[in-house]
Structure 1
Amino acid sequence: MPQGDHIELHQKRHGKRLDHEERKRKREARELIGAKGKRFAKKRYAEKAQMKKTLKMHDESNKRQKVDDDVQEGALPPYLLDRDQTQRAKVLSNTIKQKRKEKAGKWDVPLPKVRPVAEEEMFKVLRTGKRKTKQWKRMVTKATFVGAGFTRKPPKYERFIRPTGLRFTKAHVTHPELKCTFNLDIISVKKNPNGPMYTSLGVMTRGTIIEVNVSELGLVTPAGKVVWGKYAQVTNNPENDGCINAVLLV
């Protein structure tokens, strides 16, 4: 019989895999059989259906629809003859109704599609060991964000190495309406389009959504509260330019 919690101790010392939670959820879902499995599948089906409805609702809120009604009698100016008449479909009538129903929102981002970055381009393989035969360490070659309270693991156990020269704490954020650029602190990396692993590592490539501290701008909510953090999208290649340029999502 084991005399100690070896697994928990190992996780405390060396941490967990980056996809630990996802693998655990899938493993637990596979173990459910019979009536329990059916109930779980039914619950997940309902959750996914609700998510699709919400996303569809947000898509329709800014969609243009053709008017099928008969055109009114009378002559039309020449410049309107080849133009379809459209109307705005406003599904969410007011902000209160929107807040109640919204569980997943979609942003109109400046760069909706970006080039995927290959793993060979993102990481450099580091050979370790006396004979340089071990190849499990990786060095990140892109710009990264590391929090203020970050402490490195011992070099022997550090799998992903984020070089100090490629760590950034500030970004040049442009406000699209004010047409002004501000040098703001980065709070976190919200989403990297290349995958959740790069998001958890804090890698910032073109198209990444970051959260920045906008308390200096003096933005307030309709209720009068000061806005501390807002999202922005990185629009340049930071590893080439040596700085981070982003556009604020408003």
Structure 2
Amino acid sequence: MERHTKLFGRRLDHEERVRKKEARQGHQASKDAQNLRGLRAKMHQQKRHKEKIQMKKQIKAHEERNVKAAPEADDPSNPVPAYLLDRNNPAAAKALSSAIKDKRKEKAARFSVPLPKVKGISEEEMFKVVTTGAKIRKKGWKRVVTQPTFVGQEYTRRNPKFERFIRPMGLRYKKAHVTHPELKVTVQLPIIAVKKNPNSPLSTQLGVLSKGTVIEVDVSDLGLVTASGKVVWARYAQVTNNPSNDGCVNAVLLV
């Protein structure tokens, strides 16, 4: 192989192919873990366990690389002179680790939502089959969305001949009752977009408003200002009720 490489060189996209192959290894490992059975599964699990241990050790070594740790008091190889016994040894490791933990907690709190776990909605409950015309009645490829949805201001329906998902006008919502968790104030704010629906990417694409959905609302009327003094125009909020049961959208602002 080395002689062939020296004589004829490599493909022009060799590095890219190697990079993609390494990127696919995670997917292949996941597929093997799900599909292997019996002794092969045990051997694969032992191999992955050892790899994870090595990975954690490497990450820990990287974190503690630049940390000044205090020398152990009982270590005879590091004797301390008598005039230094009353001084404190430099121990920045504990302070640094606690600072890292606090920083991670703050970062996690920024993305925490009021409802972390939400019960999903089945497709049978969300979509209703529509059959139109005598010739295509057997196919029935059209669907009516039976859950409340949000569509933008500039939304226009497609030609009925090519429209697969139908969102009825009576189930479209434009505003939500948003509660500020710190100020304990509830205000009706216009919805800008549906950021994430935990049920499925299709629900997010269709703008379905179900319990746990993260939406973007216009908060310009609230007069919120950032630390640097800039006015906040939009913020994320999470839907906390079932709009299909209540007939309105209630949400909590993610501050």
Alpha-carbon contact 1:116-1:194 (below 8 Å) kept: yes
1:37 aligned to 2:17? yes
Unaligned runs of at least 5 residues, structure 2: 1-12, 27-55, 57-96
In structure 2, the residue matched to 1:201 is: 206
Alpha-carbon contact 1:186-1:211 (below 8 Å) kept: yes
What CA deviation, in whole Å up to 9, does each residue of 1:188-246 have, x standing for no partner?
A: 00000011111011011000000000000000111111001100000111111111000
Alpha-carbon contact 1:124-1:140 (below 8 Å) kept: yes
After superposition, the Cα gap between the structure-2 partners of 1:234 and 1:35, relative to the gap in structure 1 and judged at 3 Å, is: same
Unaligned runs of at least 5 residues, structure 1: 1-32, 47-52, 54-87
The one of 159, 170, 183 aligned to 1:154: 159
The SS at the match of 1:197 is helix
The aligned runs of 1:105-184 (5 Å cut-off) are: 107-131=111-135, 132-184=137-189
Matched residues in 2 for 1:238 and 1:179: separation? 21
Matched residues in 2 for 1:165 and 1:41: separation? 50
Percent identical pairs in the alignment equals: 60
After superposition, the Cα gap between the structure-2 partners of 1:247 and 1:105, relative to the gap in structure 1 and judged at 3 Å, is: closer
Point out the structure with the larger strand share: 1
TM-score normalised by structure 1 residue count: 0.62
Structure scoring higher RCO (CA < 8 A, sep ≥ 6) equals: 1
Number of positions where the alignment pairs a residue of Structure 1 with one of Structure 2: 172
After superposition, the Cα gap between the structure-2 partners of 1:106 and 1:117, relative to the gap in structure 1 and judged at 3 Å, is: farther
Query: Once superposed, which parts of structure 1, at least 4 consecutive aligned residues long, lie more than 6 Å away?
Result: none
Matched residues in 2 for 1:92 and 1:224: separation? 29
1:91 aligned to 2:107? no
In structure 1, the residue matched to 2:250 is: 245
Alpha-carbon contact 1:128-1:134 (below 8 Å) kept: no
After superposition, the Cα gap between the structure-2 partners of 1:45 and 1:188, relative to the gap in structure 1 and judged at 3 Å, is: farther
RMSD: 2.9
2:148 corresponds to which letter in structure 1?
A
TM-score normalised by structure 2 residue count: 0.61
In structure 1, the residue matched to 2:235 is: 230
